[in-house]
């Protein structure tokens, strides 16, 4: 048995054990966010619109959503319908079994992604680097958060890994499909895809972009089959949920929103110094970006992928703390990439700082929005790190 086969078997065994243990624990509500995805799959399975709020409330409350504990009567579905279509196989299962399987899929997706991205960043991967990457990835606070609530992020991160792998290996069609599927979470995935597309256009590699657009078109077509008015229903669902429950968007407020928009909004209302520092940081990033594009060597597609994962928190109007799992790729890139001409100790120090930042902020009472400082630091490191040799 090869080393890769042994590693894959070990990951599968650990995943199965984890899924069985969590399923047997009989917790009050497994995977708080996955419940809304499973409910959307059930809606499609039964011929109901995934945006039907009566169906969402009734199904979620019947499968563990406790209105006496939760502040909202149900968790609303605000994703394209093709996600619900893709989850129909899981919707056939009882909710606890479905979540256990989803958790297994997420764990495998994250593990494979971390190993693949490490291999692409550095061709000479040792056991220590692999162990640090896997342990660091699975104990990264945002990754644990996403896995515990059953979010999409591990699977979306796997799509980022597939995109980078496809471009690196010149499998442009596969890269395009992965890039198109990132639109499943539009406010996050489209920014990553947009940054990478700029590099592809500069290189006149249009095949991934064409396949990404075709993938989105196919997904949209499938969505029209199950919900003919889905674009309007999706846009109207935000106001409809507010009218029904009184909760406005973002549902969690801006304190758990690690984006530039939220940092500016929160700091403007609480601290003039924090607002000034945020504006100064964004101005520095803008200046470094212009300088890098004009004076530095042409960035590699790996670098653009890493930059896109950081840029989503600069340009997205909304994100959650668990979306910070996307920072694992720029972190792997900076710490292990052969393209970065920085001493190893400095890289490891940077990696430790970024890894510990979410834990440290929680320890001092910091909110999710405070993590935007980490985003700016990581983005600045990407922009100023000298290049050794770009592919």
pLDDT score of 27 = 45
Q: Please choose, from the candidates 126, 158, 119, 154, the residue with its C-alpha nearest in 3D space to the C-alpha of residue 138.
A: 154
* Distance between CA atoms of residues 107 and 100, nearest Å: 11
pLDDT in tens, 123-143: 767 888 888 889 889 888 888
pLDDT in tens, 308-362: 999 999 998 888 888 999 999 999 999 998 888 788 788 888 888 888 877 766 6
Average pLDDT of the chain, as a whole number: 85
HSE, CB side, 13 Å, CA atoms: give it for residue 130.
14
Confidence of residue 36 (pLDDT cuts 50, 70, 90): very high
Answer for the pair 84, 35: CB distance below 8 angstroms, yes or no.
no
pLDDT higher than threshold 70 for residue 8? no
pLDDT in tens, 39-93: 999 999 999 999 999 999 999 999 988 888 888 899 999 999 999 999 999 999 9
* Distance between CA atoms of residues 55 and 51, nearest Å: 8
pLDDT score of 82 = 97
């Amino acid at each position: 048995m090869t080393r890769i086969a042994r590693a894959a078997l070990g990951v599968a065994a650990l995943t199965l054990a984890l899924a069985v243990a969590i399923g047997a624990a009989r917790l009050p509500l497994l995977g708080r966010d996955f419940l809304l995805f499973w409910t959307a799959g059930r809606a499609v399975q039964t011929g109901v619109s995934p945006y039907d709020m009566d169906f969402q409330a009734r199904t979620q409350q019947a499968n563990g959503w406790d209105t006496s504990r939760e502040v909202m009567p149900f968790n609303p579905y605000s994703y394209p319908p093709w996600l619900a279509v893709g989850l129909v196989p899981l919707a056939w299962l009882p909710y606890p079994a479905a979540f256990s399987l989803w958790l297994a899929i997420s764990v495998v997706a994250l593990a494979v992604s971390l190993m693949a991205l490490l291999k692409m960043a550095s061709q000479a991967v040792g056991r220590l680097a692999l162990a640090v990457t896997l342990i660091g990835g699975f104990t990264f606070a945002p990754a644990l958060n996403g896995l515990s609530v059953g979010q999409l992020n591990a699977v979306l991160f796997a799509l980022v890994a597939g995109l980078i792998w496809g471009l690196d290996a010149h499998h442009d069609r596969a890269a395009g499909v992965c890039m198109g599927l990132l639109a499943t979470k539009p406010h996050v995935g489209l920014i990553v895809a947009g940054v990478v597309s700029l590099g592809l256009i500069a290189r006149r590699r249009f095949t991934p972009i064409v396949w990404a657009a075709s993938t989105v078109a196919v997904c949209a077509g499938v969505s029209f089959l199950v919900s003919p008015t889905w674009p309007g229903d999706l846009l109207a669902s935000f106001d409809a949920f507010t009218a029904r429950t009184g909760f406005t968007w973002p549902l969690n407020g801006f304190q758990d929103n690690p984006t530039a928009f939220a940092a500016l909004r929160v700091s403007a209302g609480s601290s003039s110094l924090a607002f000034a520092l945020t504006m100064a940081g964004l101005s520095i990033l803008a200046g470094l970006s212009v300088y890098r594009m004009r004076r530095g060597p042409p960035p590699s597609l790996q670098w653009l992928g890493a930059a896109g994962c950081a840029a989503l928190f600069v340009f997205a109007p909304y994100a959650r703390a668990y979306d910070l799992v996307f920072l694992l790729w720029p972190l792997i890139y900076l710490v292990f990439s052969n393209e970065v001409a920085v001493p190893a100790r400095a890289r490891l120090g940077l990696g430790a700082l970024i890894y510990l930042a979410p834990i440290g902020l929680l320890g001092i009472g910091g909110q999710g929005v405070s993590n935007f400082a980490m985003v700016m630091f990581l983005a600045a490191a990407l922009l100023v790190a000298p290049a050794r040799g770009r592919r």
